[in-house]
């Protein structure tokens, strides 16, 4: 896992052709808005989370976020243990995100 600041996350993501944005928040949190292009898999689903993650391409670079950065750090560690190539945690999470947001109308 590599911890990225908001700015580093945006810059790296723009240039990454193998990126996958993973939102590990709850559905209620996602309803308040999300980063465009992200896929939501709630880390609180435990084994359900692991089962869903196993369907993903291990060669992609995973940009993972939650509300504050704690759950996404856990998710990065889980993906790292499962053999995923690269995981990036969004420091400060969605509550500090100042980029584009969808779904918060």
Angle, alpha carbons 51-95-61 (nearest 5°): 45
State the Cα torsion 79-82-84-90 to the nearest 10°.
10
Sign of CA dihedral 76, 49, 30, 85: positive
- Give the pairing of strands 19-23 and 39-40: parallel
Nearest-angstrom CA–CA distance, 78 and 33: 25
User: In the annotation, is 76 catalytic?
Assistant: no
Catalytic residue among 1, 66, 73, 79: 66
User: Catalytic residue positions?
Assistant: 66
């Amino acid at each position: 896992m590599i911890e990225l600041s908001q700015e580093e996350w945006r810059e790296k993501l723009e240039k990454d052709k193998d990126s996958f944005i993973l939102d590990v928040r709850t559905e209620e949190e996602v309803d308040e808005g999300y980063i465009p292009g992200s896929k939501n898999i709630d880390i609180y689903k435990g084994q359900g989370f692991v089962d869903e993650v196993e369907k993903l391409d291990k060669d992609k670079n995973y940009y993972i976020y939650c509300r504050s950065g704690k759950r996404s750090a856990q998710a990065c560690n889980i993906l790292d243990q499962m053999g995923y190539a690269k995981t990036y945690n969004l420091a400060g999470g969605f509550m500090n995100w100042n980029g584009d947001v969808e779904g918060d109308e």
